[in-house]
Structure 1
Amino acid sequence: MRANLWLFSMALITLACSPMEKELKESLPDRWPNAVTYEIFVQSFADSDGDGIGDIKGMTSKLDYLQELGVEAVWLMPINPSPSYHKYDVSDYYGIHSDYGTMEDFQEFLEEAHQRHIKVIMDLVINHCSKLHPWFLNALKEDGEYRDYFVWADKAGIEAEGNLLKAKTGDSDNIHQWNEVSGQDELYFSFFWSGMPDLNYDNPKLREEIYEIGNFWLTKIGVDGFRLDAAKHIYPDHRAADNHAFWKEFKTKMETYKPEVYLVGEVWADLPTQAPFAQGFSALFNFDLAFSIMETVKNGQVVSATIHEHAWKVLDEGSPVTLFNESEKAFKQYNPDFINTTFLTNHDQNRVMSFFENHEKKAKLAASILLTLPGAPYIYYGEEIGMRGLKPDELIREPFLWETKNDSMRTQWMEPTYNTTNVVAPLSVQRKDSGSIFNHYKSLIHFRRKSAVMTYGEVEQIDLANDELLAFTRSHAGDTVLVVHNLSSRVKRIRQLEPYSLILFTTSKKVRQTADVLALPPYQTIILSKPQK
Structure 2
Amino acid sequence: MRFNLRYLLFSVALLAACNSDKPGSNPDPGPDPGKDIVDQVSQYDARPFDGQKRAGVFYEIYVRSFADSDGDGIGDLNGVTAKLDYLDDLGVAGIWLLPIYTCDSEHGYDVIDYTAVNPDYGTLADLENLVAEAHKRKIRVILDFVPNHTSHHSPWFVEACKSAGSPYRDFYHFSQTAKPGWYAVPSGTTDWFYQGVFDRSMPDLNYGPASSCEQSGAFVALTDAAKFWIDKGVDGFRLDAVKHIYDSDISAENPTWLNKFYTGLNAHFQGKSALGFDDIYMVGECWMATEQMAEYYKGLPALFDFTAWADRLLYALKNDHAKWFPKDMIAEREVFAAKRPDFIQATKLSNHDESRARTEVGGSHALSLERCKMAAAVLLTSVGSPYIYYGEELGFFGDKTDKGGDRNVREPMLWKPKAEDTERPTWISSTKNTDTGVGSVAVQAESAASLYNVYRKFLRLRNTYPALAEGAIALPEWFDDASSADKQVMAFYRTAGSEKLLVVHNVSGTQCSYAFEGDVVAPVADMNGVTFSSQGNSHTLAMPPYSSIIFEMQSR
TM norm structure 1: 0.88
- Cα separation, partners in 2 of 1:481 and 1:26, compared to 1, 3 Å: closer
Say if 2:135 is the partner of 1:130: no
The 2-side partners of 1:253 and 1:458 are apart by 31
Say if 2:500 is the partner of 1:480: yes
The 2-side partners of 1:12 and 1:364 are apart by 26
Q: Which moved more, 1:502-511 or 1:263-272?
A: 502-511
**Contact between 2:60 and 2:389, CA under 8 Å: does it hold in 1?**
yes
| Alignment partner of 1:265 out of 258, 279, 284 | 284
**Contact between 2:63 and 2:80, CA under 8 Å: does it hold in 1?**
yes
Offset, 1:180: 1.8
Offset, 1:532: 9.0
Give 1:354-503 correspondences, 5 Å limit: 354-358=359-363, 359-391=368-400, 392-404=405-417, 405-462=419-476, 463=479, 465-500=485-520, 502-503=522-523
Name the aligned partner's letter for residue 20 of structure 1: V
The 1-side partners of 2:200 and 2:113 are apart by 18
Identity of aligned residues (%): 36
Aligned equivalent of 2:205 = 199
1:374-422 CA distances to partner (integer Å, 9 max, x unpaired)? 1210010000010110111111000000001311100000024434443
**Contact between 2:53 and 2:92, CA under 8 Å: does it hold in 1?**
no
Offset, 1:335: 2.3
Name the aligned partner's letter for residue 180 of structure 1: A
Aligned equivalent of 2:344 = 339
The 2-side partners of 1:59 and 1:128 are apart by 27
**Contact between 1:131 and 1:137, CA under 8 Å: does it hold in 2?**
yes
The 2-side partners of 1:114 and 1:2 are apart by 43
Offset, 1:36: 0.7
Aligned equivalent of 2:167 = 145
**Contact between 1:12 and 1:509, CA under 8 Å: does it hold in 2?**
no
Name the aligned partner's letter for residue 56 of structure 1: L
Say if 2:528 is the partner of 1:517: no
SS, match of residue 436 in structure 2: coil
Offset, 1:340: 1.4
Aligned equivalent of 1:353 = 358
The 1-side partners of 2:472 and 2:108 are apart by 38
SS, match of residue 251 in structure 2: helix
Give unpaired runs (5+ residues) of structure 1: 159-163, 165-176, 306-318
Aligned equivalent of 2:230 = 218
Offset, 1:510: 5.1
Say if 2:512 is the partner of 1:507: no
SS, match of residue 529 in structure 1: strand
Aligned equivalent of 2:176 = 154
Aligned equivalent of 1:300 = 320
Name the aligned partner's letter for residue 327 of structure 2: T
Aligned equivalent of 1:324 = 329
Name the aligned partner's letter for residue 416 of structure 2: E
Number of residues of Structure 1 aligned to a counterpart in Structure 2: 497
Say if 2:38 is the partner of 1:20: yes
Task: Report the aligned-residue RMSD.
Answer: 2.4
Q: Which moved more, 1:487-496 or 1:183-192?
A: 183-192
The 1-side partners of 2:3 and 2:295 are apart by 51
SS, match of residue 473 in structure 2: strand
Give 1:228-247 correspondences, 5 Å limit: 228-237=239-248, 240-247=251-258
The 1-side partners of 2:174 and 2:12 are apart by 67
Aligned equivalent of 1:274 = 293
The 1-side partners of 2:527 and 2:111 are apart by 43
The 2-side partners of 1:449 and 1:278 are apart by 26
Aligned equivalent of 1:184 = 190
Higher relative contact order, structure no. (Cα contacts within 8 Å, ≥ 6 residues apart): 2
1:52-73 CA distances to partner (integer Å, 9 max, x unpaired)? 0000111100000000100000
Q: Which moved more, 1:118-127 or 1:333-342?
A: 333-342
